[in-house]
Amino acid sequence: MDYVGHVIRPPSEAYSMIIQVTVGCSHNMCTFCGTYKDLDTRFRIKDWDTVKKDIDEASSYRHRFRRAFLADGDVLILPTEDILRIMHYIKQKNPHMENINMYGNAKAILRKSPEDLRAIRDAGLGVLYQGIESGNEEVLRRIKKGAFPKHMKEAAAKVIGAGIKLSQTVLLGIGGTELSAEHARDTGKLLGEMSPDFASALTVMILPNTQLFQEYKSGKFVLPDKFGLLGELRTIIKNMNVTRKCYFTSNHASNYLPIRANLPEEQGAVLRLIEQVISTKDESILKPEHMRAL
């Protein structure tokens, strides 16, 4: 397989056929993200022959894949006809394939027409993954996300309106101690307004090859402690007044407290659990530091 650089995928795509369609991320500006900061993984779209060869190879494995994931950062940015050609070929070579999933940032979503999105859905897109990180404008500006809540809401409505399942991630701690309260409140509110099918909270990890690391070293960025991060989780869930069913998780390896909850039904129970951990400062049920990872 022609895998170049770090090929990233959501945890839920661990058993999927991974086809790398682009190398890197077309934005590549986020201050906390070190995935594609190396010069040899600058953003580029792979040519069709390379992608086709990888599909042929992956389709020849004995394993009968039912899901595929198109990597890297934001495959939805490709012209619709290119995405459709890749998806149709995967299905042609794998008649049992059920879903072909990918990442899509707000900019890429907003560039697609509703017809484009429906055509991609009909070709097999099951879940579109999107990192929104925060619902607070100032935090988004500081981390150079390249999108603001207004764009994210518009993009989410477009995806959901096209009948595509939306999975969004947010980052605990990304506002630092300075904007912790605003970050958590606005992130919860925004998630509630967007009401994605799946939402998950990860905890920011400060990686050496990032701008955030420099800010951390200079003291400009201070990460909340573990109970501060739990407080953010509580505030996010408290403010998530979803209008559709949403499966919320915080079971990523980077988190201290794994949570799985069907919202809105289990909102109260989860809040009580977090409250109990915070009020007793009981670290025994938190993940030990050495077991946390990206």
Which of 265, 204, 274 has the alpha carbon at shortest distance from 236?
A: 274
Query: 191 CB contacts (<8 Å, ≥6 apart)?
Result: 132, 135, 168, 170, 199, 236, 239, 240, 242, 246
DSSP string, 247-266: EEE--STT-SS--EEEETTT
What does the buried/exposed string (b/e) look like for 90-121 if buried means 16 or more CB atoms within 10 Å of the residue's CB? bbebbeebeebbbbbbbbbbeebeeebbbbbb
C-beta of 105 vs 203, nearer to ligand SF4: 105
Report the helix count and the strand count for the chain, using DSSP H and E.
10, 10
Rounded-to-integer distance, Cα 245 and Cα 199, Å = 11
C-beta of 19 vs 33, nearer to ligand SF4: 33
CB of 258 to ligand SF4, least distance (A): 22
CB of 43 to ligand SF4, least distance (A): 9
CB of 242 to ligand SF4, least distance (A): 24
CB of 174 to ligand SF4, least distance (A): 11
Helices 149-161, 114-122: axis angle to 10 degrees equals: 50
Strand positions, DSSP E, 104-255: 127-133, 165-172, 198-203, 246-249
CB of 8 to ligand SF4, least distance (A): 7
C-beta of 64 vs 150, nearer to ligand SF4: 150
Which of 203, 180, 206 has the alpha carbon at shortest distance from 252?
A: 203
CB of 250 to ligand SF4, least distance (A): 18
C-beta of 127 vs 274, nearer to ligand SF4: 127
CB of 101 to ligand SF4, least distance (A): 16
C-beta of 70 vs 97, nearer to ligand SF4: 70
Query: 157 CB contacts (<8 Å, ≥6 apart)?
Result: 194
C-beta of 43 vs 227, nearer to ligand SF4: 43
C-beta of 125 vs 143, nearer to ligand SF4: 143
Interface positions with ligand SF4 (CB under 6 A): 25, 27-30, 33, 35, 73, 105, 131
